[in-house]
Amino acid sequence: MSTIKEVAKRAGVSVGTVSKVINNIEVKPKTKQAVELAIKELNYQPNVYARGLKVSRTNTVALILPTVWHPFFGELAYNIEKNLRQHEYKMILCNSEGDYLTELSYLTMAKQNQVDGIIAITYSDIEHYVSSNIPLISIDRFFNDEVPYVSSDNFLGGQLAAKHLDEAGCQSLCFIGAGSKKENTTRNRKKGFIDYCEKYQKTYEIFDLIGSQSEFHEKMEQFLLEKIIKEHSIDGIFAVTDAYALEVINFLEKHQISIPDDVQIIGFDGVKSSKHDQIEISTIRQPIEEIAKESVAAIIHLINKETIEKEILLPVHFIQGNTTKRQKDS
């Protein structure tokens, strides 16, 4: 049986280069061809075990998310697994529940080649541990310029929400949001909303409670009581998520505010708790299928050591529900 030295000699490269090719480490395409040809011609059998140690492709990708027991993450996990399967990858699921040690253990697995790559939705403090030497795709969160991320176009979503409230006849708009400083891509929903209002000179108000979830409900209800129940000075609301939109709706209906007649509301996410579920509130739907598809395509490119875009923004769409008026032209 021929040796790696003979292969190197025939291909006119160093033994190290042959080893790189065997172990799927990037070399010039021409070099790769030459080595592969030599391997074929000499019928060279690399030491499978040694190779196993180095290459150790597991054909598995780990999906880290807070919990799959949630409509949005459930739909996302479903679609990511579906796409991975089409590429003959298995999906290892990790419900981190935001526990950063659990998340780190998966990063370690990737470093040790126990998984080929990771797709992660995480909001915990792992910035210092993620780096370009781990095949990692981040969804909805920007870590640093080295870590590619896939996200809905939140800015566009904010613009669309304002646009639809405007076209549905709302006179004074309002953004209602809250959240941790970390969800920086989500922040863009507000920016897009403001951008539209400024551009088209719509009067608008911003209610945004950053970092203090606890007092959110009380503060929001005070705000709605003041602005809507008393002053009637708001007739169009864009809530940063469907969950917040539902809270606003419940509160206003308790106070005999009719939706969409008195106040129109648009949420964000458009999650469905199962495939055949109906979306009832008007919302900006995240392109979950596309997020899954693009994340999987990206992680596989990374695993294959191909270069990819660092930021993949996917378009969102308005979905007409029963919390905004249908427009004549639509």
Is 250 exposed, middle or buried, given 0-12, 13-18 or 19+ CB atoms closer than 10 A? exposed
Nearer to a copy of itself, 87 or 326 (CB): 87
Least distance from C-beta 281 to a copy of itself, angstroms? 15
Residue 245 lies near a copy of itself (rule: CB under 8 A): no
3-state secondary structure of 293: helix
Q: Cis bond leading into 135, ω under 30°?
A: no
Rounded Cα distance, 162 and 177, in Å: 14
Span from 61-69, 149-157, 212-220, 234-242 in contact with a copy of itself (CB under 8 A): 61-69
Return the residue of 7, 35, 39, 91 that touches a copy of itself, per CB under 8 A.
91
Residue 54 lies near a copy of itself (rule: CB under 8 A): no
- Residue 83 in contact with residue 292, Cβ under 8 Å? yes
Amino acid type, 54:
K
- Residue whose tokens read 């290892």: 92
Q: Which of residues 271-310 bind a copy of itself (CB under 8 A)?
A: 273-275
Secondary structure E strands in the chain: 60-65, 90-95, 117-120, 136-139, 149-152, 172-179, 203-210, 236-239, 264-269, 283-285, 311-314, 317-319
Rounded Cα distance, 292 and 307, in Å: 19
What lies within 8 Å, CB to CB, of 256 at 6+ separation is none
Least distance from C-beta 172 to a copy of itself, angstroms? 33
Residue 69 lies near a copy of itself (rule: CB under 8 A): yes
Residue 98 lies near a copy of itself (rule: CB under 8 A): no
Return the residue of 9, 32, 54, 82 that touches a copy of itself, per CB under 8 A.
82
Residue 77 lies near a copy of itself (rule: CB under 8 A): yes
Could you write out the three-class secondary structure of 113-170? CCCCEEEECCCCCCCCCCCCCCCEEEECCCCCCCCCEEEECHHHHHHHHHHHHHHCCC
Q: What angle do CA 160, 228, 187 make, to 5 degrees?
A: 35
Residue 140 lies near a copy of itself (rule: CB under 8 A): no
Number of residues in contact with a copy of itself, rule: CB under 8 A? 28
Least distance from C-beta 97 to a copy of itself, angstroms? 9
Residue 92 lies near a copy of itself (rule: CB under 8 A): yes
Residue 123 lies near a copy of itself (rule: CB under 8 A): no
Span from 15-23, 67-75, 181-189, 230-238 in contact with a copy of itself (CB under 8 A): 67-75
Span from 2-10, 94-102, 149-157, 249-257 in contact with a copy of itself (CB under 8 A): 94-102
Residue 68 lies near a copy of itself (rule: CB under 8 A): yes
Contacts with a copy of itself by CB under 8 A lie at: 48-49, 52, 60, 62, 67-71, 74-75, 77-79, 81-82, 85, 90-95, 102, 273-275
